[in-house]
Chain A
């Protein structure tokens, strides 16, 4: 299953709804291009909704890290929403769970972005 990404705006935050697999190849490229496109348009408050992401490999983890640092380097914020157990566990063992700001509730996640 390939990865799909769609974006929507809520209170100045861009929510990216991702579904499928973020893996070496297409999935990683879709994520990279989406974040690059948002930053290019000046949208620097990004919430990645991973609720429908079934699988991430090391390349996908690298792409999440890259997205996080790219947004931060441009003075923005990137948070993660709705991790599945698999993705949660993967971020735990790679010690990235505490690096990312991970949220379970969309409204609370949006409210947590700086004004």
Chain B
């Protein structure tokens, strides 16, 4: 995908039906979509810095109860542990720095891997028993 705001919006729109197909309820789907949007913003804005020569790759994969979303960019990379805690009192009124926090808030697992060049973000959400029950009932 191109490093544009349109790609961010498109990725978010793609997520909803995929998460629905995977069996997640409406609230959870909203959270997954937001995590994907934030990871895409990270890739397009902070990673590739809207550089038209750099691409963002987005993949969705379902393995058993897990929905795995992988987003890669070709930017200069960053150290996730060095991102300040947005909930710390001294950071509460900062304008930015909440994207990774929101990904972690809505997903079960968020992994970062340094590429050469770039960053790979893996977002994982697992179906809960209630989701699985709903999935069975709809069959």
Chain B residues lying within 8 Å of A96, measured Cβ to Cβ, are 92
Interface flags for A30-74 (1: CB within 8 Å of B; 0: not) read 000000000000000000000000000111011101101100000
The answer on a CB contact under 8 Å between A95 and B34 is no
Chain A residues lying within 8 Å of B41, measured Cβ to Cβ, are 24, 57-59
Chain B residues lying within 8 Å of A86, measured Cβ to Cβ, are 30
Q: Which B92-107 residues sit within 8 Å CB-CB of chain A?
A: 92-96, 98-99, 101-102, 105
CA distance A63 to B93 in the complex (A): 10
A6 interfacial by beta-carbon distance below 8 Å: no
The answer on a CB contact under 8 Å between A94 and B98 is yes
Chain A interface residue count, CB cutoff 8 Å, equals 19
A25 interfacial by beta-carbon distance below 8 Å: yes
Smallest CB separation, B105 vs chain A (Å) = 5
The answer on a CB contact under 8 Å between B34 and A57 is yes
The answer on a CB contact under 8 Å between B86 and A65 is no
Smallest Cβ-Cβ distance to A98: which chain B residue = B92
CA distance A55 to B38 in the complex (A): 13
CA distance A69 to B95 in the complex (A): 10
The answer on a CB contact under 8 Å between B93 and A25 is no
The answer on a CB contact under 8 Å between B92 and A58 is no
- What are 27 of the A-B contact pairs (CB < 8 Å)? A23-B37, A24-B8, A25-B5, A57-B34, A57-B41, A58-B38, A58-B96, A58-B98, A58-B99, A58-B102, A59-B96, A61-B98, A62-B94, A62-B95, A62-B98, A63-B95, A65-B94, A65-B95, A86-B30, A94-B87, A94-B101, A94-B102, A95-B87, A95-B92, A96-B92, A99-B92, A99-B93
Q: B-contacting residues of A (Cβ < 8 Å)? A: 23-25, 57-59, 61-63, 65-66, 68-69, 86, 93-96, 99
